[in-house]
């Protein structure tokens, strides 16, 4: 038995996923391509409970220690607040000058991110992580933590400082404790992902001591700050803040430990990762709800999902509510939650269905403050939720009434504020219902047959149902009331008055009203559902159409055009799709310049790609979105002044482009509602995968071509080195033998002396092998030129006879030793060919025949003409080639099998050959529009044939002449000299 | 290799007999090994040698050192052989022989049309080199002594190649061939048309030298026909039919692919 391997226990799937996400995020933030070469910088946070505990001092002290060890430390931003001790710590550190900018008439100095990244220190000091940049700061980012993120992404290590009150999830807790709400917050993600946290702790009494001695605030501020009874620095406050800071640090250490364990595959002791869903609404108190859920999630190491359920009632939110909802969802995102918007009829059941599908254990909702009668009438959302929750825990969190506006809300129950528009709609609905009721009353009058009034009542109720189905719920209610009134007025005694004789009619009225209301409501709901289903279907159909069109697109520009068009159609916005410029595709991800691939819109793409400042800004925002992989522009925290919103298209392999939309309406922070944003996201993800697909297809094609080229190149290299070295070896051998003989020409010593015939043979070898080497090199150069298309034909009229003669010239001596025949008729048409290249073809074919046939095998050249071409045949009576070889034989580097078999029969230089000669022939012939092929020769051997097209008309030829001394020298030209007839043949 | 047959040689004996008049060769070539090899070879064959490593230096030496012949490499680092040829030609009529690699046909033609006298394709054998220099010197000498007229206006030429002897008498406009292999040694008169004769006469006066299509067309057919290469092809074919044993494997009228024609070097009649 082999000893058992200490298998690491498998990780829970959630942990694997978690780790994968973390690694992926790390790769994404550094730029996946650059990730391997330029690791993300490390972030160390000096974390404190309040101002004045000495964070900056601690940071500088650490920096000084590092500097003393020879580490390159540079200060990007250090806020000394005029504190002498701190200023002293800054001595000797390299300070990066701040960028100056004008803002509202004053000159401000802001952290110069680009300068810092260019400077590339080992450690960069950036004080006050929570700082908000002045609008128009050089970096274009709203917050300093974003600047720091950029530095980290560029591979620069950063030391920074942070107070507990600036952490997003603790923001309102701190506000409750201290009564001071800080507006500058840092997402918890930044803190959680820091590589090191150093808690700078100071007991409250010691802090008070420092405050009193003026070490924190100077002058008057100092006294005000230390006022023990009141203010931020109350001892109670400080104790609570200290606890918060300690606990948060502990939580960080805990998660760090967890991360450590996960990274090393240590089986976790805690259960699989939990998920918490928080139900978000447009209510202002949802913010608090989200923060509470975040704290819960952080404590449980759970993932947080923020959900908004859109129901028929909430489908039409007011503009303010829309904006608040967006803000709440964005807050959730900044707290590290994923957000989700779904639509359904019943908020509670949709929420639960989603929770079950995602294996969510806990749902956090806000406490409702609706009047009791409403709950009885319409049902309580929370009651429904709890009733159907099953094994899911429901947490109901107290709402914060601060600033609660007109709308109190829980998901699915927002009430619309009446707006002028809405009032108009109500009026028109009521008018419509009045018209319908009037019509039905007229119909009922036609059937008026007292005393039985049941038919009339039923006809009026039909009017109610029609109102509900055609117009809506409000019309149904109005129609119910109007029907009862009409019934009273027209049909009950006394008629044409609202008085009644019979009190029994009251019951009829009540029943009629109740039936009318319930039937009307039901019918109206059915109508709404139908409308919603229709709109959902339309949106689904649109998405389906998009994906179907995208599937058919085969290149980047087709994909971009489809995406732009659909975005324009679905969002009624100008749309633009940008992809990295082709020249920049190979560049590192960050430095890729974007190009407009397609645009769609009513006003043309000038708002984006035109001249001037505004389009330039839009392009800058798009580039930012691409570079950072996050949405930017209008309605986001990054560069919100832009007119368009830019969504990076991120596929599984990285960023592939940017989708920009410019909503038609110019006003309002948020011109796109949640549904539109969801549509945008969905288009974005489809576009990203389509772009990835076509890019992959293109790069796969390129890779295949590249691989093929590489294969050829390596084949060429090995072939070349062999075919060049062999003759070189012969030359070197022969030459060095001669050299040695020269050195030993001492007559007394006969060693190494070679006789004259040997000497002649050696010299002959040198000359022959040099010629062969030269041929090989010339072939190589020629093949390369042919391959690269660098050959241009210099066509001129030529005769085949002359071509053959030139092609044979260099073989003359070898051919003289063999049975060789040439049959080239002199009456062949002239050819317009390159007069230097075609002889090369003849030369190579003869060379080939000489090389691969025995020395006594006959060979020859024949030529004839067909109607449109001249065919030349170079044949031999050698061993021939197999059938399956004849197609391969023109491939580069192909050497026939015969080359091995026949080699020994031929002269010394025959044993090798790169097969380049035939490839060159093929290239030349093809360039001339001809054809080259091999076929068996009768009775044996092989024949290579090539055809060249005959140009017509043939050139003008000189006039016929008489031979000298035979006829009158001044005889005029009588006829055109025919090529076919050799004149004056003796 | 084509010059391996017995060529009636003139330059060599003169050089050997009169060392004081050893011809001076200017080598314009940037590759040291080739310069070294050329110097060694030429000095062993009774030439004096001057070397230049660049086109600028070469141009200067070509007019100041009075060389008898210039060997000019086409692949100089500081300018193409074409422009060097042209600047030498402005000052001097010294024969220029181009050294070039295969595949540079258009460069060769440009240099020849600019006034170079001949070319050698690298790599070349020593026999070939010496033959070209001889031809160049001989033509220069003829030209230098007479000053005007054709390059070489001796009246009678003769050459034997592969057993066939070609004799040309320009003054009587008679051309004969005699085949040794036919045994009888019978001299046959070749009947040429006026244009054929005009072409052959021009080639004979420059025998051994390469002539570009343009040069031949301009001289034989006139400047208006310099692009009518097909004329030349037809007449070359006709001449070959009459002069050569096998027109498809010519020995006398050699095609220089992509450049022009060369008539094998002819000597004075042996009789």
* Nearest residue of chain A to residue B258 (CA atoms): A836
d(C-alpha B31, C-alpha A322), whole Å: 81
**pLDDT tens-digit profile of A628-679?**
878 888 877 777 778 888 888 887 777 888 898 887 765 444 556 666 777 7
Phi, psi of A638 (to 5 degrees): -100, 120
CA dihedral of A19, A21, A27, A29, whole degrees rounded to 10: -130
Using the predicted structure, report yes or no on whether residue A740 has a pLDDT greater than 80: yes
Mean pLDDT of chain B: 82
pLDDT number for residue A338: 76
Using the predicted structure, report yes or no on whether residue A32 has a pLDDT greater than 70: no
Using the predicted structure, report yes or no on whether residue A428 has a pLDDT greater than 70: yes
CA distance A561 to chain B (A): 49
CA distance B22 to chain A (A): 29
Cα angle value B27/B31/B33 (rounded, 5°): 95
Contact A957 B231 (CB under 8 A): yes
Contact A830 B193 (CB under 8 A): no
Cα angle value B120/B121/B123 (rounded, 5°): 115
Cα angle value B48/B53/B54 (rounded, 5°): 125
Radius of gyration of chain A (CA): 45
Contact A808 B248 (CB under 8 A): yes
Contact B250 A804 (CB under 8 A): no
Give the Å distances, CA to CA, from B180 to A827, B9, B164.
29, 22, 6
Cβ of A827 under 8 Å from any chain B Cβ? no
The most confident of A609-618, A748-757, A963-972, B186-195, by mean pLDDT: B186-195
Contact B241 A982 (CB under 8 A): yes
Cβ of A972 under 8 Å from any chain B Cβ? no
Contact assessment for residue A932 and residue A921, using Cβ atoms and an 8 Å cutoff:
yes
Neighbours of A898 (CB within 10 A): 18
Closest CA to A393 of A273, A277, A285, A270: A277
* Nearest residue of chain B to residue A824 (CA atoms): B248
Grade residue A270 by pLDDT with cuts at 50, 70 and 90: very low
**pLDDT tens-digit profile of A606-641?**
778 777 788 888 888 888 888 887 888 887 777 777
Grade residue A190 by pLDDT with cuts at 50, 70 and 90: confident
pLDDT number for residue B39: 92
d(C-alpha A23, C-alpha B209), whole Å: 77
Grade residue B70 by pLDDT with cuts at 50, 70 and 90: very high
pLDDT number for residue A948: 92
**pLDDT tens-digit profile of A54-76?**
888 889 888 888 888 888 888 88
Select the residue of A785, A794, A962 nearest B106 (Cβ to Cβ): A794
Closest CA to A116 of A139, A87, A100: A139
**pLDDT tens-digit profile of A286-299?**
888 888 888 888 77
Grade residue A590 by pLDDT with cuts at 50, 70 and 90: low
Decide the pairing of beta strands A654-663 and A645-651. Answer: antiparallel
Cβ of A798 under 8 Å from any chain B Cβ? yes
pLDDT mean over A937-963: 82
Contact B234 A802 (CB under 8 A): no
Grade residue A224 by pLDDT with cuts at 50, 70 and 90: low
* Cβ within 8 Å of residue B99, ≥6 positions away: B29, B34, B71, B72, B73, B74, B119, B120, B122, B124
CA distance B258 to chain A (A): 4
d(C-alpha B220, C-alpha B201), whole Å: 9
Q: How many CB pairs lie under 8 A apart between chains A and B?
A: 114
Residues of chain B that touch chain A, judged by Cβ-Cβ distance less than 8 Å: 1-2, 102-103, 105-106, 123, 125, 173, 188, 190-197, 213, 221, 228-231, 233-238, 240-242, 246-250, 254-259
Using the predicted structure, report yes or no on whether residue A603 has a pLDDT greater than 60: yes
- Please name every residue paired with B254 in a beta bridge, in sequence order, or none if there are none: B262
d(C-alpha A117, C-alpha A126), whole Å: 12
Using the predicted structure, report yes or no on whether residue B141 has a pLDDT greater than 70: yes
pLDDT number for residue A66: 86
Contact assessment for residue A576 and residue A660, using Cβ atoms and an 8 Å cutoff:
yes
Contact assessment for residue A923 and residue A786, using Cβ atoms and an 8 Å cutoff:
yes
Decide the pairing of beta strands B24-28 and A931-936. Answer: unpaired
Closest CA to A645 of A580, A593, A575, A591: A575
Phi, psi of A847 (to 5 degrees): -55, -45
Could you tell me where the beta strands, DSSP code E, fall in chain B? 24-28, 48-52, 69-73, 96-101, 118-122, 156-161, 164-169, 174-179, 187-190, 210-212, 253-256, 260-263
Select the more confidently predicted residue: A312 or A131.
A131
Examine the predicted complex and report whether its ipTM is higher than 0.85: no
Location of structure tokens 């063999």: A818
Closest CA to A945 of A820, A868, A841, A851: A841
Select the residue of A771, A805, A958 nearest B248 (Cβ to Cβ): A805
Tell me which H or E stretch contains A239.
Answer: helix A235-263
Q: What is the DSSP letter of A165?
A: G
Q: Taking phi first (over 0 means left), then psi (-120 to 50 degrees means alpha), and beta for anything else, what does residue A984 get?
A: left
Contact assessment for residue B188 and residue B178, using Cβ atoms and an 8 Å cutoff:
yes
Cis peptide before A494 (omega within 30 of 0): yes
Selected residue of B230, B236, B253 to mutate for chain A interface (largest A Cβ count, 10 A):
B230
Closest CA to B25 of B90, B69, B84, B74: B69
pLDDT number for residue B121: 85
Using the predicted structure, report yes or no on whether residue A872 has a pLDDT greater than 90: yes
Grade residue A947 by pLDDT with cuts at 50, 70 and 90: very high
d(C-alpha A889, C-alpha A915), whole Å: 8
* Cβ within 8 Å of residue A762, ≥6 positions away: A734, A735, A737, A738, A754
The most confident of A176-185, A209-218, B109-118, by mean pLDDT: B109-118
Residues of A in contact with B103 (CB under 8 A): 778, 781-782, 785
Contact B255 A805 (CB under 8 A): yes
d(C-alpha B61, C-alpha B54), whole Å: 11
Cβ of A979 under 8 Å from any chain B Cβ? yes
- Among A153-162, A706-715, A935-944, whose mean pLDDT is lowest? A706-715
Cβ-in-10-Å burial (0-12, 13-18, 19+) of A236 comes to exposed
CA distance A831 to chain B (A): 10
Contact A813 B190 (CB under 8 A): no
Cα angle value A359/A360/A362 (rounded, 5°): 155
d(C-alpha A558, C-alpha A597), whole Å: 9
Selected residue of B3, B123, B248 to mutate for chain A interface (largest A Cβ count, 10 A):
B248
* Nearest residue of chain A to residue B174 (CA atoms): A964
Cis peptide before A58 (omega within 30 of 0): no
Tell me which H or E stretch contains A727.
Answer: helix A674-743
Q: Taking phi first (over 0 means left), then psi (-120 to 50 degrees means alpha), and beta for anything else, what does residue B169 get?
A: beta
Q: What is the DSSP letter of B74?
A: S
Six token digits for residue A729: 């070896």
Helix (H, G, I), strand (E, B) or coil at B21: helix
Contact assessment for residue A105 and residue A139, using Cβ atoms and an 8 Å cutoff:
no
Grade residue B212 by pLDDT with cuts at 50, 70 and 90: very high
Using the predicted structure, report yes or no on whether residue A356 has a pLDDT greater than 50: yes
d(C-alpha A415, C-alpha A374), whole Å: 12
Six token digits for residue A940: 């044996």
pLDDT number for residue A4: 43
Select the more confidently predicted residue: A3 or A835.
A835
Cβ of A839 under 8 Å from any chain B Cβ? yes
- Among A334-343, A674-683, A821-830, A882-891, whose mean pLDDT is lowest? A882-891
- Please name every residue paired with A476 in a beta bridge, in sequence order, or none if there are none: none
**pLDDT tens-digit profile of A536-555?**
777 777 778 888 888 888 88
pLDDT number for residue B15: 41
Using the predicted structure, report yes or no on whether residue A980 has a pLDDT greater than 50: no
Q: What is the DSSP letter of A886?
A: T
Contact A964 B197 (CB under 8 A): yes
- Helix, strand, coil share (%) of chain A residues, nearest 5: 50, 15, 35
Helix (H, G, I), strand (E, B) or coil at A810: helix
Location of structure tokens 């006034």: B115
List, as ranges, residues 739-778 from A with C-beta within 8 Å of B. 767, 770-771, 774, 778
Contact A809 B1 (CB under 8 A): no
What is the number of residues in chain B? 271
d(C-alpha A723, C-alpha B31), whole Å: 25
Select the more confidently predicted residue: A660 or A569.
A660
Q: What is the DSSP letter of A809?
A: G
CA distance A769 to chain B (A): 12
pLDDT mean over A803-827: 88
Contact assessment for residue B241 and residue A982, using Cβ atoms and an 8 Å cutoff:
yes
pLDDT number for residue B199: 93
**pLDDT tens-digit profile of A441-496?**
888 888 877 777 778 888 888 888 888 888 877 888 888 888 888 888 888 777 77
Contact assessment for residue A473 and residue A433, using Cβ atoms and an 8 Å cutoff:
no
CA distance B145 to chain A (A): 32
Six token digits for residue B134: 């001889």
d(C-alpha A369, C-alpha A619), whole Å: 47
Contact assessment for residue B268 and residue B8, using Cβ atoms and an 8 Å cutoff:
yes
pLDDT number for residue A888: 64
Six token digits for residue A262: 């996960």
- Please name every residue paired with A761 in a beta bridge, in sequence order, or none if there are none: none
pLDDT mean over A429-443: 87
Q: What percent of chain B has pLDDT over 90?
A: 26
Cis peptide before A451 (omega within 30 of 0): yes
Contact assessment for residue A944 and residue A809, using Cβ atoms and an 8 Å cutoff:
no
Cβ of A782 under 8 Å from any chain B Cβ? yes
Mean pLDDT of chain A: 76
pLDDT number for residue A160: 92
d(C-alpha A306, C-alpha A278), whole Å: 5
Decide the pairing of beta strands A43-48 and B156-161. Answer: unpaired
* Nearest residue of chain B to residue A956 (CA atoms): B230
* Nearest residue of chain A to residue B124 (CA atoms): A771
Contact A955 B246 (CB under 8 A): no
Q: What is the DSSP letter of A132?
A: B
Closest CA to A814 of A878, A859, A779, A762: A859
The pTM assigned to this predicted structure is 0.46
Residues of A in contact with B258 (CB under 8 A): 794, 834-836
Neighbours of A651 (CB within 10 A): 18
Residues of A in contact with B4 (CB under 8 A): none
pLDDT mean over A175-188: 80
CA distance A969 to chain B (A): 8
Using the predicted structure, report yes or no on whether residue A946 has a pLDDT greater than 90: yes
d(C-alpha B115, C-alpha B88), whole Å: 9
């Amino acid at each position: 038995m082999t000893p058992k391997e200490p298998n690491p226990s498998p990780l829970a799937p959630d942990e694997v996923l978690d780790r994968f996400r973390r690694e992926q995020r790390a790769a994404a933030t550094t730029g996946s391509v650059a990730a391997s070469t330029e690791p993300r910088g490390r972030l160390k946070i000096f974390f404190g409970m309040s101002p004045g505990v000495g964070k900056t001092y601690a940071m500088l002290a650490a920096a000084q220690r590092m500097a003393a060890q020879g580490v390159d430390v540079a200060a990007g931003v250090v806020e000394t607040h005029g504190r002498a001790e701190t200023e002293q710590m800054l001595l000797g550190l390299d300070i990066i000058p701040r960028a100056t900018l004008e803002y509202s008439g004053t000159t401000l100095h802001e952290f110069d991110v680009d300068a810092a990244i260019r400077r590339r220190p080992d450690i960069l000091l950036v004080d006050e992580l929570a700082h908000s940049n002045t609008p128009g700061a050089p970096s274009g980012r709203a917050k300093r933590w974003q600047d720091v993120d950029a530095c980290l992404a560029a591979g620069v290590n950063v030391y920074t400082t942070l107070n507990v009150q600036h952490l997003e999830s603790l923001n309102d807790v701190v506000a409750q404790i201290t009564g001071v709400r800080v507006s500058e917050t840092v997402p918890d993600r930044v803190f959680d992902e820091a590589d090191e946290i150093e808690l700078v702790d100071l007991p409250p009494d010691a802090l008070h001591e420092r405050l009193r001695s003026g070490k924190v605030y100077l002058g008057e501020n100092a006294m005000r700050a230390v006022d023990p009874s009141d203010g931020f620095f109350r001892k109670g406050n400080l104790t609570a803040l200290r606890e918060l800071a300690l606990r948060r640090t502990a939580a960080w250490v805990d998660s760090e430990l967890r991360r450590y364990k996960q990274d090393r595959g240590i089986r976790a002791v805690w259960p699989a990762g939990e998920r918490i869903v928080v139900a978000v609404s447009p209510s202002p108190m949802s913010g608090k709800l989200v923060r509470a859920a975040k704290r819960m999630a952080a404590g449980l190491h759970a993932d947080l999902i923020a959900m908004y359920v859109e129901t028929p009632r909430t489908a039409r939110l007011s503009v303010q509510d829309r904006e608040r909802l967006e803000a709440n969802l964005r807050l959730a995102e900044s707290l590290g939650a994923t957000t989700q918007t779904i639509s359904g009829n019943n908020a509670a059941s949709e929420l639960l269905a989603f929770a079950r599908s995602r294996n969510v254990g806990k749902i956090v909702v806000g406490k409702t403050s609706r009047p009791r009668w409403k709950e009885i009438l319409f049902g309580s959302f929370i009651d429904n939720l709890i009733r159907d929750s099953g094994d899911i825990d429901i947490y109901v969190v107290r709402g914060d009434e601060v600033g609660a506006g007109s709308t109190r809300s829980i998901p699915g129950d927002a009430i619309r504020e009446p707006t002028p528009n809405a009032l108009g709609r109500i009026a028109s609905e009521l008018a419509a219902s009045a018209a319908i009721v009037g019509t039905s009353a007229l119909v009922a009058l036609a059937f008026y047959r007292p005393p039985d009034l049941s038919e009339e009542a039923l006809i009026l109720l039909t009017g109610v149902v029609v109102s509900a189905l055609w117009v809506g719920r409000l019309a149904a209610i109005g129609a119910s009331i109007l029907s009862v009134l009409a019934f009273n007025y027209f049909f009950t005694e006394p008629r044409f008055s609202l008085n009644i004789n019979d009190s029994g009619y009251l019951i009829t009225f009540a029943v009629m009203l109740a039936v009318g209301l319930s039937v009307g409501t039901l019918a109206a709901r059915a109508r709404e559902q139908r409308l919603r289903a229709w709109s959902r279907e339309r949106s689904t159909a649109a998405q389906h159409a998009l994906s179907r069109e995208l599937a058919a697109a085969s290149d980047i520009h087709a994909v971009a055009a489809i995406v732009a068009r659909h975005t324009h159609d679905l969002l009624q916005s100008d749309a633009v799709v940008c992809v990295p410029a082709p020249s920049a595709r190979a560049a590192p991800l960050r430095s890729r310049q974007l190009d407009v691939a397609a645009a769609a819109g009513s006003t043309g793409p000038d708002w984006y790609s035109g001249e001037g400042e505004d389009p330039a800004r839009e392009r800058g925002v798009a580039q930012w979105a691409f570079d950072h992989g996050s949405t930017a522009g209008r309605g986001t925290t990054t560069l919100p002044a832009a007119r368009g919103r830019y969504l990076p298209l991120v596929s599984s392999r990285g960023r592939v482009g940017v989708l920009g939309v410019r909503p038609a309406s110019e006003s309002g922070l948020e011109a796109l509602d949640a549904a539109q944003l969801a549509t945008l996201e969905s288009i974005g993800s489809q576009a990203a995968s389509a772009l990835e697909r076509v890019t992959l297809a293109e790069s796969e094609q390129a890779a295949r071509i590249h691989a093929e080229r590489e294969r050829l190149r390596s084949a060429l290299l090995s072939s070349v080195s062999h075919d060049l070295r062999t003759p070189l070896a012969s030359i070197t051998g022969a030459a060095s033998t001669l050299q040695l003989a020269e050195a030993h020409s001492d007559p007394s010593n006969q060693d190494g002396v070679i006789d004259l015939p040997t000497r002649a043979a050696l010299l002959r070898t040198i000359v022959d092998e040099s010629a062969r080497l030269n041929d090989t090199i010339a072939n190589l150069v020629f093949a390369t030129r042919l391959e690269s298309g660098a050959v241009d034909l210099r066509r001129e009229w030529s005769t085949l006879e002359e071509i053959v003669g030139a092609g044979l010239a260099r073989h003359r001596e070898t051919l003289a030793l063999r049975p060789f025949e040439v049959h080239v008729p002199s009456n062949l048409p002239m050819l317009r060919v390159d007069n230097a290249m075609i002889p090369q073809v003849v030369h190579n074919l003869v060379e080939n025949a000489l090389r691969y046939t025995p020395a006594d095998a006959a060979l020859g050249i024949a030529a004839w003409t067909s109607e449109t071409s001249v065919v030349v045949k170079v044949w031999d009576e050698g061993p021939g080639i197999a059938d399956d070889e004849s197609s391969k034989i023109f491939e580069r580097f192909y050497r026939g099998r015969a080359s091995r078999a026949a080699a020994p029969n031929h002269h010394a230089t025959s044993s090798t050959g790169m097969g380049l000669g035939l490839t060159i022939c093929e290239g030349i012939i093809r360039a001339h529009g001809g054809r080259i092929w091999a076929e068996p020769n009768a009775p044996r051997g092989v024949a290579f044939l090539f055809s060249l097209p005959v140009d017509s008309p043939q050139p003008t030829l000189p006039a016929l002449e008489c031979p000298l001394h035979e006829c009158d020298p001044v005889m005029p030209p009588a006829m055109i000299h025919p090529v076919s007839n050799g004149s004056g043949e003796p | 290799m084509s010059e391996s047959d017995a060529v009636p040689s003139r330059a060599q004996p003169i050089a050997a007999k009169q060392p004081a008049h050893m011809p001076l060769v200017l080598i314009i070539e940037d590759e040291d090994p080739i310069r070294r090899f050329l110097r060694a070879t030429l000095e062993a064959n009774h030439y004096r040698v001057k070397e230049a490593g660049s086109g600028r230096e070469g141009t200067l030496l070509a007019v100041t050192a009075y060389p008898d012949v210039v060997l000019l490499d086409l692949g100089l680092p500081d300018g193409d052989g074409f422009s060097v040829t042209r600047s030498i030609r402005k000052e001097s009529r010294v024969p220029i022989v181009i050294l070039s690699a295969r595949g540079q046909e258009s460069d060769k033609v440009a240099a020849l049309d600019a006034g170079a006298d001949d070319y050698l394709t690298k790599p070349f054998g020593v026999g070939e080199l010496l033959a070209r220099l001889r031809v160049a010197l001989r033509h220069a000498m003829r030209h230098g002594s007479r000053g005007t007229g054709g390059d070489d206006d001796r009246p009678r030429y003769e050459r034997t190649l592969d057993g066939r002897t070609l004799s040309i008498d320009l003054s009587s406009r008679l051309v004969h061939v005699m085949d040794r292999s036919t045994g009888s040694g019978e001299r046959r008169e070749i009947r040429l048309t006026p244009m054929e004769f005009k072409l052959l006469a021009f080639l004979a006066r420059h025998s051994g030298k390469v002539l570009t299509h343009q040069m031949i067309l301009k001289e034989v057919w006139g400047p208006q026909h310099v692009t009518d290469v097909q004329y030349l092809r037809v007449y070359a074919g006709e001449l070959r039919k009459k002069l050569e044993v096998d027109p498809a494997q010519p020995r006398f009228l050699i095609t220089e692919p992509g450049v022009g024609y060369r008539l094998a070097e002819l000597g004075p009649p042996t009789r």
